[in-house]
Structure 1
Amino acid sequence: MEICREEKMGRRKASCYCPKLETVSWRDCSGEKVVTTEDLTAQELLKSKETEFAVADVTITYAQGDQIRKCRKCKTAFDEKFLIPRVWWTTLAKRSNGYFGYQDILDSDGTRTGTISWVRFMVKRVSKILDDHDVDEIKYHWVKLNAVTRWNASNNRTDIILFDHPQFAHLNGDSILRDINPRELGDPFWVYPSMVEEIAQLHDVTIWETRNLLRDFELRRAFYRFNYKYLHEIPRHMTHVNEMVYVTESILTSIQKHHGHFLATDKAVDAPPKMFFLNIQSRLDSLHNMVTNLRHRAESNNARIQNEMALTYNDAARIDSSAMRAISLIGLLFLPAAFVAAIFSTSFFNFDAPTGIWKLSSHFWMYWAVAVPLTVVTVVSWFFGPVIMDKVMPQWRRWVE
């Protein structure tokens, strides 16, 4: 009885209460394209054979990565169905700012039976709002896309999982379904031009968002003159936007490299289909060129904000310099009189009020005997003191600084 109770508790603990996953299936039925939407559990994705998902040519599954990670049964089902690599589940991948991975599925003879690829994109969106005190404030949020793709060489079936950020994931899913070309399904990389195009368009939006922040600052330079905190926020967000463009460009380079590897090692394709696959490479090349040009625009924005920062700090330095110049001028005006007053206030000079006669002490030479050498020592120490200290005690600068 005790064993049965433990087994029952174990089964109850292993039960999965995760919500069903939205899936979209695409199938080419004698030239007629059929698209079906189903809500299935992770176990149904793995075992069910009576769904459109099981017989489709292309499937897209929308899922939440964090939710799948927490459920052992769902994670196991995803691993078995889509062969998700172990590194994808790690904290390293979860915290990464982007990556692309590719792996061939091989049989015992080393023949490729399919492929697995996984990609992560991130884009930062920014906007300017007014806070509760009617002060300009920059708000931001991150848009993330994690995708895992499994391709089967025997029937050219492609299974795609789009994780996280549901709105953007659905936008990518719609784009992928829109661009399906049945002649390209023999190339596992057919999904990436559509995906990268959506990412590139989003990068274009974010770069213009930061450009608008910059342009607003340029037009209202006098208003933001001493708002150093706001001036600091703009380049901070620009740095992240630029970083993500660089990462996307790096990811695209990796996709192109692995696609070239696939084309070079795929012995099953004949000449006509391979020309369709080369079109995929051409679209990737075109998108790479666009992303590179977006990076140049982002770099231009960064250079402009650096100029604005330099101008602002130079203006502040000029104002400080003007104040110091005024103080120095006042000091110069009073210095001669102060020097004369200090000299005549010494005991070397004696004024006899009854007779009105000034008397100069015969020891006045002592003043010059002390003042002149001390002045010479001070000037010499100022010019040659650091050089001597560097030779005698090299570490003295660290103590002073």
Structure 2
Amino acid sequence: MASLVILKQVDGRFEKTSVNASTFLGTRPQQGVQFVFAKWDLLGKDNHLRDLICSDWAYPPMLWTKTCREANGYAGSARGLDKDQKTLVDTSWFQFLVKQLRAGANTFQQEYVYEWYEMEFFMYVLSSGASVAFCIDTPPAFQNGLLEALNSGRNDPPKDAMAFLQCAVVAEVSRLYDVSVWTLRDKVRELEKIRSAARYLESGLDFPRLHDLARHIIHTCEVLSVAADTVNTLLVDHRSSSGKACECAGASGHSPNPNCPHTEMRFWLGLLQNFGRRAKSLNERLSHEITLGFNLVVQRDTRATMEISSAARSDSASMKTIAVVTLAFLPATFVCTIFSMSFFTLNVDDATGEKHWMMSDRFWIYWVITVPLTVLTLICWWYGQHRGDKQGKAREPSWKSEGP
């Protein structure tokens, strides 16, 4: 059996109770202020309950559409007669989205886990003062915070029930936004602390995850901007629907009433705008961290490349030395090999048996051929190297020839 959770004032304090959904929606509110918590799946997928809330509670049918359901926020209001065409009814509907990241997850080791709070609100206020606020798909923190706030405030009946309901909801939603923004701030601050730690680059920078965090911050900036517009619309709609300016606005020359809900709503509106500015600042800080991390990685890779290049140049110089030495001895070896020159012989004296080396008297022929050939070979090698360097420089583009 479908049931609804209700906050109802009993003996000056709000208490949480549970009632049958069909019974509650089929009964007209008689007196007092009530907050009803429901799930969108319960009301949206049950045709009987959906028809009942639209016909008996003046709930706009357009809010069931996919367009409104998937919107990032909206606000509206209306004034008319109830289904019996006897009692004046004020209605107001609006939506807030909050993106909440789970706190405590390590920035580099775990995936970001988050949850969307897609909260819809509908206010139904009779001219007699009886009023009901439908809170759809609100998290448990919202319900508990609202109950605590209601019981810690003034217990006397509100003069403007619609403003009271809206202000109570906006206050709790603002607290959810505050937690959301501070959770993101902790993530960004954690990145900044890791950067100052030792072995920052060695820990491994996961740029896709950093951009994923940036995506969450951008979403928060968006919904905060829309939330501020929504609250501003509620304040403007109150004046247009009631036909007069709020008494707390000071339009008549009197000082604003500090107990008027609209004064408090303007305060929460200012806080929401400030939350939005903080979210934008977090986005800029994270953007700077991503840019700095990328530059540090590039700097590290550049240093490694320079070290490799230096080692390669050293190896190249060594190989060039070996090549020159080899080139210097190659012509002499070639001459000896091709002409089978043997200028030294070991002779044995037959009389004494002594051994001694004998050098050919034509040894000069070897030097006459070898020395010019070696010099010519080295000159050819030097000329080839010099010509290659000149051609390489000629192929390099010049900034002077490219123009501005």
Same fold by TM (over 0.5)?
Answer: yes
Q: Structure 1: which 5+ residue stretches go unaligned?
A: 1-17, 389-401
> How far apart, CA to CA, are the structure 2 residues paired with 1:71 and 1:232?
42
After superposition, give the CA deviation of every residue in 1:334-363 in whole Å (9 maximum; x if it has no partner).
44554576688789x84334525231559x
* Pairing 1:39–2:18 present: yes
Q: Please, which moves more after superposition, 176-185 or 251-260?
A: 176-185
Higher relative contact order (CA 8 A, sep 6+): 2
Alignment partner, residue 308 of structure 1? 289
After superposition, give the CA deviation of every residue in 1:300-357 in whole Å (9 maximum; x if it has no partner).
333333343334333332332222112211232344554576688789x843345252
Residue in structure 2 matching 1:114, options 90, 93, 98: 90
> How far apart, CA to CA, are the structure 2 residues paired with 1:35 and 1:235?
44
After superposition, give the CA deviation of every residue in 1:126-176 in whole Å (9 maximum; x if it has no partner).
223479xxx842553325152322333522332211122451341354256
> How far apart, CA to CA, are the structure 2 residues paired with 1:268 and 1:165?
32
> How far apart, CA to CA, are the structure 2 residues paired with 1:225 and 1:84?
56
SS at match of 1:128: coil
Q: CA 1:377 to 1:156, structure 2 compared with 1: closer, same or farther past 3 Å? A: farther
SS at match of 1:78: helix
Residue type at the aligned position of 1:257: T
> How far apart, CA to CA, are the structure 1 residues paired with 2:192 and 2:169?
35
* Pairing 1:197–2:180 present: no
Q: CA 1:305 to 1:330, structure 2 compared with 1: closer, same or farther past 3 Å? A: same
Alignment partner, residue 152 of structure 1? 125
SS at match of 1:304: helix
Contact 2:7–2:147, Cα closer than 8 Å, also in 1: no
Q: Structure 2: which 5+ residue stretches go unaligned?
A: 251-255, 342-365
> How far apart, CA to CA, are the structure 1 residues paired with 2:318 and 2:206?
47
SS at match of 1:127: coil
After superposition, give the CA deviation of every residue in 1:100-143 in whole Å (9 maximum; x if it has no partner).
2203134699x984223122232313223479xxx842553325
* Pairing 1:55–2:36 present: no
Quote the offset at 1:63 in angstroms: 0.9
Quote the offset at 1:177 in angstroms: 3.5
Write the mapping of 1:340-359 to structure 2, written as runs, cut at 5 A: 350-351=331-332, 352-353=335-336, 355-356=366-367, 357-358=370-371, 359=373
Residue in structure 2 matching 1:251, options 220, 227, 231: 227
> How far apart, CA to CA, are the structure 2 residues paired with 1:270 and 1:343?
97
Considering only aligned residues, what root-mean-square deviation do their CA atoms show, in Å? 4.3
> How far apart, CA to CA, are the structure 1 residues paired with 2:278 and 2:248?
39
Write the mapping of 1:48-197 to structure 2, written as runs, cut at 5 A: 48=27, 54-96=29-71, 98-106=72-80, 113-129=89-105, 136-142=109-115, 144-152=117-125, 154-171=127-144, 173-174=146-147, 177-178=150-151, 179=153, 184-186=158-160, 188-197=162-171
Residue type at the aligned position of 1:72: N
Q: CA 1:172 to 1:87, structure 2 compared with 1: closer, same or farther past 3 Å? A: farther
Contact 1:145–1:162, Cα closer than 8 Å, also in 2: no
> How far apart, CA to CA, are the structure 1 residues paired with 2:205 and 2:91?
49
Contact 1:214–1:301, Cα closer than 8 Å, also in 2: yes
Contact 2:26–2:52, Cα closer than 8 Å, also in 1: no
Alignment partner, residue 383 of structure 1? 397
Alignment partner, residue 20 of structure 1? 3
Q: CA 1:56 to 1:164, structure 2 compared with 1: closer, same or farther past 3 Å? A: same
> How far apart, CA to CA, are the structure 1 residues paired with 2:109 and 2:385?
62
